[in-house]
Amino acid sequence: MTAIAVSIAGSDSSGGAGLQADLKTFSACGVYGATIITALTAQNTRGVDAIHNVPADFVGQQFDSVFSDLAVNAVKIGMLSEADIIHAVADGLKRHKARSIVLDPVMVATSGDVLLNQSAIDTLRTILLPCADLITPNLPEAAQLLDEPLAPDETVMLAQARRLLALGPQAVLIKGGHGNGAQSIDVLVTQTERRSFAAPRIATRHTHGTGCTLSAAIAAGLAKKMTLMDAVASAKSYLSAALAQADQLMIGHGSGPVHHFHAHW
């Protein structure tokens, strides 16, 4: 059987983040990708100019179309900007008994533009986090979900990961890309295990879509029946290589995308 992953996310018109980054990542990782679109954005490498949310009932219709026909092995969730869309996604996941759910709680774009309505954060926290097998917040997102200051080091990252785990997801991966130091360290916590994943911090301004890419790569690994630990390790290696090759691309005038197909061209 062909491994299939579905991206539930917003569209990035410049192709570097959102469901476009997810589809590129799925393909690069050897997985067939499908989509459930939650929002259209007018954006480029310099920022988000406009957001047009997809009606919640249409999000539900997309769920039914995809899951009634495709044997979905894993789900990656990205941008959900309104509470009713979050409810529609949670209902769709339960209705279709989705498995291997990776939730990237996207709140702010790389450019600094807000992608999640402030009033929807509580809904995300209480309704969707308990549906997830893994959540992948970066340092600012973890802090915002917990109403705490930004974690300054790995010790506090671990403590925050455990507090997020108490909100209901099966596992938490806090990403250290916004931190300092020569190493970029991500901390993974489950009910029974903890592990840190370190990689050299890569000096490049082309970081558009890094969070989308990592979570999509994890979902791709889970779709191929990898263990969670192996899927995270594989995704971390894939993203590090895509970042290392990002400067080969000449895309836009701002924070350009990573090189999703670095192994192919």
At residue 161, the pLDDT reads: 97
Q: Is residue 255 part of a domain?
A: no
Domain count across the chain? 1
pLDDT value for 111: 57
pLDDT at position 108 is 66
Integer Cα distance of 34 and 99 in angstroms: 15
What is residue 116's predicted lDDT score, i.e. its pLDDT? 72
What pLDDT is stored for residue 14 in this prediction? 97
Query: Is residue 68 included in any domain, yes or no?
Result: yes
**Structural domain includes residue 183:** yes
Q: Tell me, what's the pLDDT at 97?
A: 98
Query: Is 209 among the domain residues?
Result: yes
Q: Would you name the residues annotated as active-site residues?
A: 175, 207, 209-212
- Give the pLDDT of residue 176: 87
Residue 192 lies in a domain: yes
Domain membership of residue 122 (yes or no) is yes
pLDDT value at residue 120: 85
| CB-based contact 53:26 (threshold 8 Å) | no
For residue 257, tell me if it sits in a domain.
Answer: no
Host domain of residue 67: 4-248
Position 128 in a domain: yes
Q: Rounded to whole angstroms, how far apart are CA atoms 32 and 51? A: 27
pLDDT value for 75: 98
Q: What is the pLDDT of residue 199?
A: 85
Map the chain to HEC letters.
CCCEEEEEEEEECCCCCHHHHHHHHHHHCCCEEEEEEEEEEEEECCEEEEEEECCHHHHHHHHHHHHCCCCCCEEEECCCCCHHHHHHHHHHHHHCCCCCEEECCCCECCCCCECCCHHHHHHHHHHHHHHCCEECCEHHHHHHHHCCCCCCCHHHHHHHHHHHHCCCCCEEEEECCCCCCCEEEEEEEECCCEEEEEEECCCCCCCECHHHHHHHHHHHHHHCCCCHHHHHHHHHHHHHHHHHCHHHCCCCCCCCECCCCCCCC
Q: What's the CATH code of the domain at 133? A: 3.40.1190.20
pLDDT in tens, the chain (265 residues): 899 999 999 999 999 999 999 999 999 999 999 999 999 999 999 999 999 999 999 999 999 999 999 999 999 999 998 999 999 999 999 999 999 999 999 876 655 555 676 778 899 999 999 999 999 999 999 999 999 999 999 999 999 999 999 999 999 999 987 666 668 899 999 999 999 998 888 888 999 999 999 999 999 999 999 999 999 999 999 999 999 999 999 999 999 999 999 999 9
